[in-house]
Chains A and B, each alone.
Chain A
């Protein structure tokens, strides 16, 4: 299945989608750009932070609501499309459900556990808690403590990028995991983009690294450089310049539309995007040293 087919089949208008689950790394930019190209509408985006991916989807008019802890540009600070949407309703009004990183993680964990909420001690007394009806305060039945009940988050679709997967969607991923495992388990459908599709034997050799079992995966697509400009440890580093360029080149709606034309709407697929990025720029992001882990022995 191609990425284009996966998005077409499994991301309907109005869907809620969790993305950016490994924080600043492994962000599924290729999938996000395909969503923009297919002009999906009325989406709800869910994530702890998203770096600039959510801002791009908001600016492209795909988004009705954001459920997140942070939306911006990790390198540049504010993201201009988010600001225009919230402050001016451009290109359309945007509903914000503000969370903290911890409450996003707990909401997805509750979804993954199949319980309606999980208690926590964070955010008490904050306006985040006061203004979010999914962070209600409760009294602990055992201790009498005041707690918040973080409502379960159950997205329609999780889109995650991983280092490698087999054809059945069994995934090896490593580095910081963020909320990836819970996001996959909490969601009704899962789309995986992988740097490499590898033989099943490779995945079976290290079951502790198989953090996403294939039977939970709806579609798996090989997509090298699928997370660029975010980093994928072992494959490429973060393209910091790209984030700064985005900050400089999206200050007005006109600038953003030029940016979107250049990098998303004006390219037909990810290969075309990578061509536009150029070989030199890609090579400069490749790891400069090898650092394989020691193999683990599974013999018996």
Chain B
């Protein structure tokens, strides 16, 4: 089992953000795989919440296309309604939440609603779903997205899911109770946020990717951490679990 895809590396990086026993707002696609991988490796006691009302401790036996698929209901811990899980999120009982995004900016604000590009017609995207709620209310937010210059913009054209706004203490100034983006996992790198200015900082590049490549695909002059790391590659165990969960490579190839 030599070699791995960047998506597999992203799943592994997502899984490593989950600590054992934590309550996780799971999301779909790569974050879902990351949650299942964490459960099977270092975080067997992690608890998954889904905005449709499902709470799960036992990983589903089959890969899910959506959070409401019957395998996610079968032997769930609890099936309730949306307010039950959104209430837990608003109370501050969710440690980590995962979301994706079409656009992100230097303060971690995410856009999945309306993209405006210079001189072109605006593009309508599906919207928030639960992403804005997770970004507003989870203790830590992990964003997962493709690293492209058109997606990593100086300012997003629409804030669907608030990050650190204009930086500094913006979140508390607008009334958000906690949280904010902690890590952005891309197919090139991992970004974290300056504890004071709240600006994104390149903290780790994936094996085989250069810093220049990351900077060239970021739409603002991205700060580089003094302690820049290389993202640790997946272990054989992690890879074999991912390939067992996603045998046809639907999500990871």
Residue numbers of A with Cβ under 8 A of B are 22-25, 48-49, 51, 68-72, 74-75, 77-79, 82-83, 86-88, 96, 98-102, 105-106, 109, 120-128, 137, 145-147, 174-182, 230-231, 233-234, 237-238, 240, 287, 291
Contacts and interface: CB of A to CB of B under 8 A. Distances in A.
A124 B162 contact: yes
B137 interface: yes
Interface of B: 28, 50-54, 65-70, 72-75, 79-83, 86, 89-90, 113, 121-133, 136-137, 158-162, 165, 170-171, 174-177
Contacts of B130: 69, 100-102
B54 A98 contact: no
Contacts of B83: 105-106, 109, 179, 182
Given A25-B52, A122-B133, A100 B113 contact: no
Nearest to B124: A86
B133 A179 contact: no
Contacts of A77: 126
24 contacts: A24-B67, A70-B128, A71-B127, A78-B125, A87-B121, A102-B89, A105-B86, A106-B83, A124-B136, A124-B175, A125-B159, A125-B170, A126-B161, A127-B113, A127-B158, A146-B174, A176-B73, A178-B52, A178-B68, A180-B81, A233-B73, A238-B65, A287-B70, A291-B75
Contacts of B160: 126-128
Which of B28, B66, B86 has the most A CB atoms < 10 Å from its CB?
Answer: B66
B127 A121 contact: no
A244 to B, nearest CB: 10
Contacts of B72: 176
A176 B52 CA distance: 6
B175 A137 contact: yes
A23 B51 contact: yes
B126 A101 contact: no
Contacts of A291: 74-75
Contacts of B90: 102, 120-122
Q: Pick the 6 closest A-B CB pairs, nearest first.
A: A146-B175, A72-B126, A125-B174, A25-B68, A24-B68, A70-B129
Contacts, number: 187
Contact of B176 (A109, A121, A234): A121
A238 B176 contact: no
Given A72-B125, A233-B74, 19 more contacts: A22-B52, A69-B129, A70-B129, A72-B127, A100-B129, A100-B131, A101-B133, A122-B86, A124-B174, A125-B175, A127-B159, A128-B132, A146-B174, A176-B50, A177-B81, A178-B53, A230-B68, A231-B70, A237-B70
Which of A181, A233, A291 has the most B CB atoms < 10 Å from its CB?
Answer: A233
A25 B175 CA distance: 34
Nearest to B92: A121
Nearest to A51: B66
A4 to B, nearest CB: 28
Nearest to A238: B69
A100 B126 contact: no
A83 B130 CA distance: 20
Contact of A126 (B74, B79, B136): B136
B175 A69 contact: no
A22 B111 CA distance: 25
Contacts of A147: 175
B244 to A, nearest CB: 19
Nearest to A232: B70
A273 B126 CA distance: 28
Contact of B171 (A125, A174, A238): A125
Given A100-B132, A122-B132, A70 B126 contact: yes
Contact of A82 (B80, B124, B159): B124
B159 A122 contact: no
Nearest to B71: A237
Nearest to B72: A176
A68 B129 CA distance: 8
Given A48-B82, A125-B162, A182-B83, A69 B124 contact: no
A152 B90 CA distance: 19
